[in-house]
């Protein structure tokens, strides 16, 4: 992380809900540029740095007060949205026509700009039926070339508040576009927090997450995208509704069988607030819509905390598709959750094999990690 950025300790979504907006977002003594210059060095509606820049401010000091209103106005390609510090309680959708869009959080920390809503898969829709997993997403990104900097994407739906709802998936963001990049962003939820996916079964969408934070419990990073997570922090949450392990699973890839690369986690860390060994590292998701899927996950050079079950870090989502038949691998991981006690439960790459599991091989000619 660049030295000029202020680093704050992670705050759980539960803390976000219970501490109150200002305290939970750690805004005191105030985010940078909250006063006379709410958009910082990125201009303003009266001083646009580029003609394709739009400004969002919750109190009306920008072009729009909601992110979705700005997205709707930004038709075509190549727009930049500068979002002032604040909490935006809304759902946002970026359709496939709005390519190469960039969102910039105009604070010095991703907690300053929060996009949050509270739909779940089982939430009733106004016109009948329920939202389903995809429909629960607070933010949906379908366009290619999307980039976000310093923004928190959250879904604050809680199981405890809805004991009669069985569809507890509550997505903070679903990303389907190719060349989607997130830098210093946060993803908060419980079940199905971060949906790294693609637009169609035959589309291999590349995504890059750098210096990001994601938290949750059940399958909270999941989907069929080709996604690289570098220098990221994954945090498992405790659960008051369960009395025994496992509480959940960090990753649930659903990589298409024809796609040679699924998820790559590198130089990252997994921590948690749950008891030791109460989480599995991953389980494979073979959806009914694609029974030929072969979920792919490589975790390398990553610290696995004590919350990960070192003896049996992988589990089946369905016994019809055992995890041993999928493409799971590890390489040079550290920490209590990485200790190899049962070798057959820890598929490991050789040094030669690891050479093909890098951000370069996964992302190809797209290099979002290089500064322009």
Which H or E run contains 89?
Answer: strand 86-89
Q: How far is it, in rounded angstroms, from Cα 2 to Cα 116?
A: 27
Catalytic residue, chosen from 192, 197, 217, 309, is 192
- Tell the residue number behind the tokens 């508040």, with chain if given: 161
Concerning whether 178 is annotated as a catalytic residue, the answer is no
Which of 48, 98, 47, 46 has the alpha carbon at shortest distance from 68? 98
Which H or E run contains 13?
Answer: helix 13-18
Catalytic residue, chosen from 144, 156, 217, 219, is 219
DSSP 204-266: --EEEEES-EEEESEEEEEESSEEEEES-EEEEPP-SS-SSS--EEEEEE---TT-S--EEEE
Q: How far is it, in rounded angstroms, from Cα 27 to Cα 30?
A: 5
Which of 337, 332, 336, 339 has the alpha carbon at shortest distance from 357? 332
Concerning whether 192 is annotated as a catalytic residue, the answer is yes
**What does each C-alpha distance from 368 to 98, 122, 296, 312 come to in angstroms?**
19, 36, 22, 34
Residues identified as active-site: 192, 219
């Amino acid at each position: 992380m660049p030295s000029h950025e202020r680093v704050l300790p992670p705050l759980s979504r539960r803390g976000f809900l219970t501490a109150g907006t200002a305290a939970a977002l750690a805004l005191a003594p105030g985010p940078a540029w909250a006063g006379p210059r709410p958009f910082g060095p990125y201009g303003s509606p009266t001083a646009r740095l580029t003609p394709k820049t739009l400004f969002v401010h919750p109190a009306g000091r920008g072009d729009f007060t909601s992110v979705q209103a700005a997205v709707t106005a930004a038709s075509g390609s190549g727009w930049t949205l500068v979002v002032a510090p604040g909490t935006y309680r809304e759902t946002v959708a970026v359709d496939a026509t709005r390519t190469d869009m960039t969102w910039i959080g105009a604070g010095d920390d991703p907690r300053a700009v929060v996009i949050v809503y509270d739909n779940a898969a089982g939430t009733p829709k106004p016109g009948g039926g329920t939202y389903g997993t995809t429909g629960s997403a607070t933010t949906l990104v379908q366009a290619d070339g999307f980039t976000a900097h310093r923004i928190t994407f959250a879904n604050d739906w809680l199981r405890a508040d809805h004991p009669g709802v069985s569809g507890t998936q509550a997505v903070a963001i679903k990303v389907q576009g190719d060349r989607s990049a997130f830098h210093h962003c946060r993803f908060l939820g419980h079940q199905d927090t971060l949906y790294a996916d693609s637009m169609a079964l035959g589309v291999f969408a590349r995504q890059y997450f750098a210096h990001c934070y994601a938290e949750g419990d059940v399958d909270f990073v999941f989907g069929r995208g080709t996604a690289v997570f570098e220098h990221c922090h994954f945090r498992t949450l405790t659960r008051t509704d369960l009395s025994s392990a496992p509480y959940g699973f960090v990753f649930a890839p659903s990589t298409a069988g024809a796609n040679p690369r699924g998820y790559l986690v590198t130089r990252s860390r997994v921590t948690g607030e749950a008891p030791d060994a109460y989480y599995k590292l991953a389980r494979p998701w073979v959806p009914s819509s694609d029974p030929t899927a072969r979920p792919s996950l490589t975790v390398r050079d990553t610290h696995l905390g004590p919350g990960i079950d070192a003896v049996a870090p992988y589990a089946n989502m369905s016994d019809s598709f055992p995890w041993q038949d999928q493409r799971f691998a590890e390489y040079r991981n550290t920490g209590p959750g990485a200790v190899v006690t049962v070798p057959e439960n820890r598929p490991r790459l050789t040094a030669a094999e690891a050479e093909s599991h890098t951000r370069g091989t996964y992302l190809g000619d797209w290099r979002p990690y290089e500064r322009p």
